[in-house]
Structure 1
Amino acid sequence: MSLTAAVAAAAAMDPWVLQPQAATSAAAMAEQQEWGDTPVELTQGTNLAIALSPDRRQIAMDLQGILWTMPAEGGSARRLTGYLHDMARPHWSPDGGRIVFQSYRDGNFHLWAIAPDGSGLTQLTRGEFDCREPAWSPDGREIAFASDRGGHYALYAYALATGQVRRIADTEGEDGEPAWSPDGSRVAFSSSGRILSVPADVGAPRVEFAGPGASAPAWSADGRRISCRQVIGTPRDVTACRLIVDGQPASDDAEDVFPVPAVWLSADELLYTADGEIRRRRIGAASTVPGRIPFSATVRVTAHRPPLRRRRDFDSRAPRPVKGIAFPSLSPEGGRVAFGALGQLWLLTLGQPEPRQLTHDRAAKIGPCWSPDGQRLLYACDRSGMLQLWVHELRTGDARQLTDSDRPLKQAAWSPDGSRIVCASEDGWLCLVDPASGAIRKVARQTAWSGRSSWSPDGEYLSLAGVRPYSARYREAVNAILTVHLASGRMRYQVPLPGVSLDVRNVNGPLWSPDGKHFIYTLGGTLWRSPIGADGSLQGAPEALGEDTADALSLSADGRRLLYLSNGRLRLRELDGPALPQGQDIPFHLRWSVARPAGTTVVHAGRFWDGVADTLREDVDIVIRSHRIAAIEPHRAHRPGVRWVDASSQTVMPGLIDMHTHREMGNQLASRDPAIFLAYGITSTRGLADNAYLALENKESVDAGWRVGPRHFGTGEALDGSRVFYDGMHPIRHASQLLREFERARALDYDLLKTYVRLPADLQERAVRMAERLGIPITSHYLFPAVAFGAPGHEHMGGTSRFGYSRTGSMLGVGYQDVVAIAGASRSFRTPTIFGLEGLLGDHPEEVLEDVRVQRLFPDAERAPLERAARGGPSRPVRMVANQVATLRAQQAAGVTVVCGSDYPIVAAGLSLHLNLRAMVRHGMPAVDALRTATANAGRVLGHDLGTLLVGQLADLVCVEGDPLADIGCAAKVRRVMVGGVDHSLEDLLAPFPAGLKTAAVAGAVPAVAAVPLAVGEAWWHSPHWVAEARALCCLATG
């Protein structure tokens, strides 16, 4: 079955597959299914946008992605669109009969129009390319808009009479936000931080405002002036958002001007949105106080949600099947499988269900692959201090280090003739390695988080999954097939079908078939292949290979056998046999059981905080039977037969919980990762979007006692829309794919679901229902309408959004009344992940420069920026951080459960959670409330017996010096940590990483040198600047 046929079949069977919208009644759209059980009145809007009708009697308003109209003098707003339309940027036609806007209703941004009375809703544009920021021409004949249809953002005009599109402007920058001059002769627009204008009939651009940081232009009524909005500062330290007129500030820097165009009333008066309000200002007037246009609008949210039903079983010792099978690899002859599980490497011989354990140490071992003769395994391992390539001799069991690079290496693959090895370095290079000497040659620069390479049969090309953006303005892209010609460095990107993305980019292909005739990969969660030429060029339509879910693909040397994972099971498919819906399960018997200590342990706490009380208790015994707290009593010295932990000079408190991590994305820290978290008192982590099998392997390894580390509550890859950015994102185009992910989540024991920024609202609603059926929470970057559908919370303080700006926080870090009211009424949680906190390290530089945890556990590349920050001197106030904490405090007062998360590995492991706590306290949150965000609140959101030290709870605790309720910095002064009744001193955690253990290249190591000229060409997204910027901007507000 072809992909198009499969999609058509799914559409016929599944009513949730989106169909093109015809003209229909907007009233019907507005009154479609009403979600929510609780009304919420909104009187302010975060990043709200407005447009004034030509007769100046009505204002059209974008508030929380809904189109409203209201009287121009203010008042109650009337809703025109429903919760699924996800609209923005309203603009009136010159006759006042229509309002055009951009909508994400069909999974891409397109232009829609509606009458002000709510009739005649019509979709104007369609297709795989985004169409944004519409502006009606003064003569009413065209709508200007921005689109990425040409490989970057440029300006186009849509002719309403014919539907034809013409190009208006296409500069070297990313062009957007068109604004017609009143006479229609010119179009102003933003272009990579500048404001330009061009003749409406096309011509050379003229600079109107050189910026930087400029956007949202608008012409004055007489056409002589242009206003815009300017952002001052950096993404992690925005100091002002200004209204600019004639190149000069027209607003006070205290104002928080929103990233949308102003509306001019005359030559010197305009309306604009700032500080959550609609404001009116006269330019040049003696008074600098703007007027205000009040409004109110009502939405509904869900405050009463089904209780969580799925709970991890930390008590039963019954054997459980291993499902966390990491990167299985089929041997060349097709009879053996090497894989990772429970922290070790294993070898399974087909027909013998019991695998053989190959390794027995605590070092990380990632991504085994076979030598062409089947005698050796190659894998990434940090046994020597950093992830390098190691070779395991299967005949003798001997292991030797092959490479000695100054950067972590992974994703290795042996060439078919055995003469070369390709791998990826953490700093973004594809490298070739000599299997004899370990010498490394750089081949080509990768882009962000590419997949494992596959060799062409002749060894002249590599294929891998890489991200191909539509523009530099927005990073979301398709996962495409990238081929690299090794001799020249030339690169080519291809997709099986236009606008259709490959699945996750790690080890799901494309695999080059050994006969050179096909690429094999996953698409929509299942196996596909495409015919190719000798150079890897696609030669025909893709072909489905089966109907079962597939991950982690591996081929035998003759290409007849394909190994893959399917919902926790190893499967084999005979490619030269009859086509079957499913592969054959490989008999496999590997079990694990929960590790629980025997006997009774008593922790004598000099001071004790249970996570509930507002004050400390003194001289307390915490009695622990096996892994749970049995009693909390006044200290009693005589307790025969118990094991004592002496914390009589310390404060004992609940173990901390980092509620936002991506630990498998950060696997360059390898075995240091769990040690760092424990060393900073973090006994549980919550994973948001990771490789499902790596996350499950981590959970099983820790719970079984094979790995010393924090408990992990994880999910799989995030559920995104048709465009993605990270390697760990499933591009979801249809509801049938969501149903497949539902089965995958159930089979792999997900603890939560995560949806990402391009999943459309109707599929978001479906995902919420899916999570409810699984009995687990769901979260995303979006607050509304997700909480109307029943989502229990959201992430970040204004994270990455498909709009380019957030509706939960402004660039200055403020969430206004709409955000506070919606989150409070829905009784939801929020994980803030506050960024820009590295400057706090300068207040106590010894905590970096002299702290043994930083100096021994952090590799050089991760430690260097921490040391620079520590030497930077005392911190200064960061306006956006103060605003973010003020928003959190307002939300807490409204009933929101705030939980603390770091967003590791975008920030430093362990330490960054403490910086979040310190920022909260510095800006007014009581220390006890800040600590609860990482203890009691977090445990409540996880839905497990965590976060407090009460009878019956799991014995996860930390012993610290000092009083953290008086000095939040004391929470980081960890001396001991306990997970499930098993305690570890700081010395225990540091012992595997002695001082002097290599974390960078040693003297005499073979340098990595470029072997061929780099041919990036038009693939600008391979530039190190873009990759670094795209990584750094994750989860920051960008509007």
Structure 2
Amino acid sequence: MKFRFARVTLVCAMALVPAPAASAAPDIDVTVSEGTNLAVTASPKDGTIVMDLQGQLFTLPRGGGAATRLGDGFLDPFWPVFSPDGSQIAVQSFADGMFHIRTITPDGRSVRQLTDGEYDDTYPAWSPDGSRIAFTSERGGSADIWTVDVRTRELEQITTAGTQETQPTWAPDGRSIAYVQGTTIEGVDLGTSAVRTLVPADRGFVSAPSWSPDGRRISFVRNNSLQIFEAGAVRQVGPHRDVFPFPARWLSSDEVLYSANGRIAVTDVAANTSRLVPFSATFTLNRDQYPRKAYDFDTRRPQPVRGIDGPALSPDGRSVVFKALNDIWLLPIGASPTRLTSDGFFEADPAWSRDGKLIAYASDKGGTEDLYVRDVASGQERRVTSLPGAETAPVFAPDGRRLAFQDQAGQTSTVDLAGGSVTRVLGPLNAPGKPSWSPDGRLLALTVSDADRNRIMLADVASGTTRVVDPAPFGSVSTRGSDGPVWSPDGTLLAFSMNSTIHVLPVDSTGTPTGPDRELTREASDSPTWSGDSKTILYLHNGVLRTITLGGRPGVVAHGLTFTQDKPDTRTVIHAGRLWDGRHAQPRTDVDIIVVGNRIRRIEAHRPDRDRRGWQFVDATKLTVTPGLVDMHVHQQMRSKFTGDRQGRLLLSYGITATRSTGDPAYRAVEERESLAAGTRVGPRFFMTGDMLEGSRVGWEFARPVRDERQLELELSRVRGLGYDLVKTYERFPVSWQARVAGRAHGLGIPTTSHYLHPAVANGVDMKEHLSGPTKWGFGFSRESSAAGVYEDVIQLAARGRMPFSTTMFSAGSLLADDPAIVDDPRIRALYTPQEQQALLAKLRCAQGQGPCGFLDGSPEQARRNVETIKRLLDAGGTVLAGTDAPLDSMAVSLHLNLRAMTKYGLSPFTALQSATLLPARQLGVERDLGSVEQGKLADLVFTGGDPSRDVAGLADVRMVMKNGRLSTPDTLAGPFRSG
């Protein structure tokens, strides 16, 4: 299916420009004969094989051959299994955004849904008589075995142990069901409910049990090999060492059909002989051709500010305080805003006292992010916290004597404003939302991650006891940031954003809901705050401040703020000893780079007799000049409130002059982009996206659950209104919506990305993040990588489909062992927070084998395998771009380690360097301005002490960096935060 949309007008990061609609491109057919983590099943009727390959069902003859596509591309199937009579195929399908059991006829013409609701139903297995399907479901509170009657859809719960019972297989006599429990295989008697252990625990994960037709054997997968349990003993069968984690399908009591090593295999378990079933499968890919969003990096026209972060309505309803352009502003409604801060440091989270006389906010002007309280009338302020870490999200208690706040560990505490004593209320939580006080000062309400939703936690301030309530049945607060809940001053309502509109929930004095929620707005709405009389709510709509009264209509609060892009009025001559220009493998030597303003005027052989009048001269005769580096995968706002002004300075000090967000709180991201463009904040260029578009379940605080078609339109309005540079759809976003978002985003001139190769590549999605990343099936399974790596399907779909991958090699941290001095670099000591320094040191100890390794840490062997995948992608004509997933990996340092890993394990320095310079610029659509050092391009340059064209480790030896024609050094960047 192809989506085409009309011309639109887009507010860009740098200018207002039209973006023509996407146009149809010729379809690309890609034929493969290997598959990564493919699954197979066979018809008992005629032996026809059905294969799930890259999320598409195919049929092929029992002897193999050319596969025929079965069904449409939006079924999103998994775990296929034929019914006993061969008339139906059961799958767990994600077509509607939850895993449900569906059946499809072998001709693909009829699909029937058997389960529904807000629960995941997975791993279908037919009863021997074909009347029921067993499956795993969480609808009973934990993962248990259930059955569904195929005719009536009646459900029955089979296990109730409260543990995790998954992947059922029916005994051939129909009297019991076996399943995986931990590292064992158990069986439950359907008549007596008695449970017994069938296959005892052993080392390694166990998966995919399957009972033989005669009931004498159970096949399963352990340690990536096919195992058989028979007569009380376990033995390995078949020659394959990369057996995919799906049930082997018994063709007889001795023969099993399964998938392994990229192929389809049949093994006689009695004789232990095996053969392959050859196949070829053809995918048809639609790759849009569309004009990219235009960037005007030179315009000096005033541009409207859209990055309004954390607005708060004053108790009297007459003023608004907010953050924009790296400062805190006070806006009397109907007048012009004035700056309350103007110091170049990082401020955040302004909040009013209940009497409207004081404003609290967070700032790192004292070295770390601390809390300050400002008297509105006099302008006097004082610092009220000075803890070693970061304190953010201050909220005044109703009596004005305390502030509640949060820290970098997700803890919530209070500080007494008179004496300064700090009391912890809640221990570490996973990125909780900003707290709100109950009117009596006894409780705090905040959004927390619970059961894969953003739910409301109510915490007793005195005791720390908590309970969780739902904003609505199965509902989620939009994000865990500034989207509420916010207690009304009269205590009767909680306001929050849900489904991207403002809702109010009636509550009693304990926060217990007393009725259903009520929707107040119909437009994309975030960041609600109340007036003191509990009658008016201020909120944000796509960069516009709005108010609404209970039962009223929205009104606009104009602020009139604009910004002008920073552009230096300078003339600079750079005498470079070496210049690696980004396009050629070998550097030029002894050249002059002429920079006027923010652009490179020309590059020519060095002239010692050049007239110096009116020019700034930079002596780089002993240095190598390269293009500025680009990190193509960051979550720049994820910890920015805790790292503050350090973050941008750190990135620049390591030569990173541009970053690309792959998921961030939308308004904080726009504020960052505008501040950097205006020069009010120090840091790289920022190509931003907002919250990742997610399905109904959500984990990350900056992922936004999308529940229905109406909300999807609101999200697309936010993309347009805030001028995103990228749209990212996340793990549980339905594939049909993903295709629609790709078409709509292309109509705006912007690309899309996700964690999936297919069907994304068939539906116009531009890029895939990670060589192999988390998916809706969890961290343990990916269609892009198996235990042994990748196969031809991944390589050909990515290369022929022109879908770049980002590297995000956490395994590159193992290279810290090659250069332990990294952790003591002056830039690290000055610009990493103490918590980040401790995390980097722990990574070093892991790499050296001297300490435990974290969940994301990798080994040299993993790094070698990652680079082998990169080499295969490149050899096939694919594209790989350097990205880090920072700050989940070490900010700035990890980009250099990714590049070093590439060259250590077989890539040339030229290939590695281009993955962080020219190729990212091309993918961002800004190759005419960035990515190489050429006449007419922007002056984003790195000056290094080594020669990265020979050894990329020299790239980290940054002596100077130029961004947009402005020159700085690591010393000047670190200056405000250097101790001593």
TM-score (norm 1): 0.87
SS of residue matched to 1:647: strand
C-alpha deviation, 1:398, in angstroms: 3.3
- Give the alignment of 1:787-936 within 5 angstroms: 787-804=761-778, 806-812=781-787, 814-849=789-824, 851-871=825-845, 878-936=860-918
- Change in Cα spacing, 1:254 to 1:606, as seen in structure 2 (3 Å) is farther
C-alpha deviation, 1:772, in angstroms: 1.1
- Partners of 1:657 and 1:251 lie apart in 2 by 48
- Of residues 499, 504, 508 in structure 2, which corresponds to 1:533? 508
Q: 2:184·2:197 contact (CA, 8 Å) conserved in 1?
A: no
Mapped pair 1:680 → 2:654: yes
C-alpha deviation, 1:898, in angstroms: 1.4
C-alpha deviation, 1:392, in angstroms: 2.3
SS of residue matched to 2:810: coil
- Of residues 560, 564, 576 in structure 2, which corresponds to 1:593? 564
- Of residues 952, 955, 976 in structure 1, which corresponds to 2:960? 976
- Partners of 1:281 and 1:926 lie apart in 2 by 43
- Partners of 1:948 and 1:520 lie apart in 2 by 49
- Change in Cα spacing, 1:219 to 1:864, as seen in structure 2 (3 Å) is same
Mapped pair 1:765 → 2:751: no
SS of residue matched to 1:992: helix
C-alpha deviation, 1:205, in angstroms: 4.6
- Of residues 328, 338, 341 in structure 2, which corresponds to 1:356? 338
SS of residue matched to 1:87: coil
- Of residues 99, 105, 127 in structure 2, which corresponds to 1:109? 99
- Partners of 1:520 and 1:292 lie apart in 2 by 61
Instruction: Report the AA paired with residue 898 of structure 1.
Output: V
Instruction: Report the AA paired with residue 738 of structure 2.
Output: Q
Q: 2:654·2:958 contact (CA, 8 Å) conserved in 1?
A: yes
- Of residues 197, 205, 229 in structure 2, which corresponds to 1:206? 197
Instruction: Report the AA paired with residue 972 of structure 1.
Output: A
C-alpha deviation, 1:760, in angstroms: 0.6
Q: 1:194·1:212 contact (CA, 8 Å) conserved in 2?
A: no
Residue deviations 1:927-986, cap 9 Å, x none? 110111110000000111211111111111101111112112111111111101101111
C-alpha deviation, 1:285, in angstroms: 6.0
The runs of 5 or more residues in structure 2 that have no matched partner are 1-23, 850-857
Q: 1:658·1:900 contact (CA, 8 Å) conserved in 2?
A: yes
- Give the alignment of 1:748-763 within 5 angstroms: 748-763=722-737
**What is the number of equivalent residue pairs in this alignment?**
939
| Residue 10 (structure 1) aligns with | none
C-alpha deviation, 1:401, in angstroms: 2.3
- Change in Cα spacing, 1:207 to 1:384, as seen in structure 2 (3 Å) is farther
Q: 1:46·1:815 contact (CA, 8 Å) conserved in 2?
A: yes
- Of residues 127, 150, 173 in structure 2, which corresponds to 1:137? 127
Q: 2:815·2:860 contact (CA, 8 Å) conserved in 1?
A: no
- Give the alignment of 1:369-408 within 5 angstroms: 369-408=351-390
C-alpha deviation, 1:196, in angstroms: 2.9
| Residue 439 (structure 2) aligns with | 457
| Residue 63 (structure 1) aligns with | 53
Identity of aligned residues (%): 39
- Partners of 1:253 and 1:454 lie apart in 2 by 61
- Partners of 2:238 and 2:965 lie apart in 1 by 56
C-alpha deviation, 1:282, in angstroms: 4.6
Mapped pair 1:337 → 2:320: yes
| Residue 3 (structure 2) aligns with | none
- Give the alignment of 1:570-585 within 5 angstroms: 570-575=545-550, 579-580=552-553, 583-585=554-556
| Residue 659 (structure 1) aligns with | 632
Q: 2:368·2:390 contact (CA, 8 Å) conserved in 1?
A: yes
- Change in Cα spacing, 1:36 to 1:113, as seen in structure 2 (3 Å) is farther
SS of residue matched to 1:770: helix
- Give the alignment of 1:175-254 within 5 angstroms: 175-201=165-191, 202-206=193-197, 208-210=199-201, 211-230=203-222, 241-246=224-229, 250=236
Instruction: Report the AA paired with residue 862 of structure 1.
Output: E
Q: 1:392·1:398 contact (CA, 8 Å) conserved in 2?
A: yes
User: Bigger CA drift: 828-837 or 953-962?
Assistant: 828-837
Instruction: Report the AA paired with residue 203 of structure 1.
Output: A
- Change in Cα spacing, 1:446 to 1:147, as seen in structure 2 (3 Å) is farther
- Of residues 583, 586, 589 in structure 2, which corresponds to 1:615? 586
- Change in Cα spacing, 1:910 to 1:159, as seen in structure 2 (3 Å) is same
- Give the alignment of 1:62-81 within 5 angstroms: 62-81=52-71
C-alpha deviation, 1:101, in angstroms: 0.6
| Residue 284 (structure 2) aligns with | 300
| Residue 85 (structure 1) aligns with | 75
Q: 2:325·2:671 contact (CA, 8 Å) conserved in 1?
A: yes
Residue deviations 1:431-484, cap 9 Å, x none? 222222232222223532221111111122221222222xxxxxxx22222222
Instruction: Report the AA paired with residue 631 of structure 2.
Output: D
C-alpha deviation, 1:740, in angstroms: 1.8
- Partners of 1:868 and 1:157 lie apart in 2 by 47
SS of residue matched to 1:784: coil
- Change in Cα spacing, 1:745 to 1:115, as seen in structure 2 (3 Å) is closer
Q: 2:402·2:414 contact (CA, 8 Å) conserved in 1?
A: yes
Q: 1:65·1:87 contact (CA, 8 Å) conserved in 2?
A: yes
Instruction: Report the AA paired with residue 415 of structure 1.
Output: A
- Partners of 2:184 and 2:347 lie apart in 1 by 48
- Partners of 1:745 and 1:720 lie apart in 2 by 14
- Give the alignment of 1:735-754 within 5 angstroms: 735-754=709-728
- Partners of 1:900 and 1:802 lie apart in 2 by 24
Mapped pair 1:260 → 2:246: yes
Q: 2:645·2:682 contact (CA, 8 Å) conserved in 1?
A: no
SS of residue matched to 2:910: helix
Residue deviations 1:788-835, cap 9 Å, x none? 121211111221211235544224372321111111222222112112
- Give the alignment of 1:689-704 within 5 angstroms: 689-704=663-678
- Change in Cα spacing, 1:324 to 1:688, as seen in structure 2 (3 Å) is same
Residue deviations 1:464-523, cap 9 Å, x none? 222222xxxxxxx22222222334433333334322322122111111111221111122
- Partners of 2:935 and 2:788 lie apart in 1 by 39
User: Bigger CA drift: 84-93 or 826-835?
Assistant: 826-835
C-alpha deviation, 1:706, in angstroms: 0.9
User: Bigger CA drift: 317-326 or 243-252?
Assistant: 243-252
SS of residue matched to 1:716: coil
C-alpha deviation, 1:402, in angstroms: 1.5
| Residue 11 (structure 2) aligns with | none
C-alpha deviation, 1:903, in angstroms: 0.4
- Change in Cα spacing, 1:682 to 1:195, as seen in structure 2 (3 Å) is farther
- Change in Cα spacing, 1:304 to 1:769, as seen in structure 2 (3 Å) is closer
Q: 1:838·1:866 contact (CA, 8 Å) conserved in 2?
A: no
Q: 1:35·1:789 contact (CA, 8 Å) conserved in 2?
A: no
- Partners of 1:324 and 1:137 lie apart in 2 by 57
- Partners of 1:196 and 1:428 lie apart in 2 by 40
- Change in Cα spacing, 1:518 to 1:698, as seen in structure 2 (3 Å) is same
SS of residue matched to 2:758: coil
Q: 1:797·1:813 contact (CA, 8 Å) conserved in 2?
A: no
Mapped pair 1:636 → 2:620: no
| Residue 482 (structure 1) aligns with | 457
User: Bigger CA drift: 810-819 or 630-639?
Assistant: 810-819
| Residue 954 (structure 1) aligns with | 938
Alignment RMSD:
2.3
Q: 1:35·1:301 contact (CA, 8 Å) conserved in 2?
A: no
- Change in Cα spacing, 1:882 to 1:260, as seen in structure 2 (3 Å) is farther
Instruction: Report the AA paired with residue 427 of structure 2.
Output: R
SS of residue matched to 2:882: coil
SS of residue matched to 1:88: coil
- Partners of 2:355 and 2:448 lie apart in 1 by 29
SS of residue matched to 2:811: coil
- Partners of 2:819 and 2:238 lie apart in 1 by 35
Q: 2:425·2:463 contact (CA, 8 Å) conserved in 1?
A: no
C-alpha deviation, 1:77, in angstroms: 1.5
Residue deviations 1:24-64, cap 9 Å, x none? xxxxxxxxxx9971111121111111112224612221111
Q: 1:843·1:870 contact (CA, 8 Å) conserved in 2?
A: no
- Of residues 324, 334, 348 in structure 1, which corresponds to 2:307? 324
Q: 2:664·2:691 contact (CA, 8 Å) conserved in 1?
A: yes
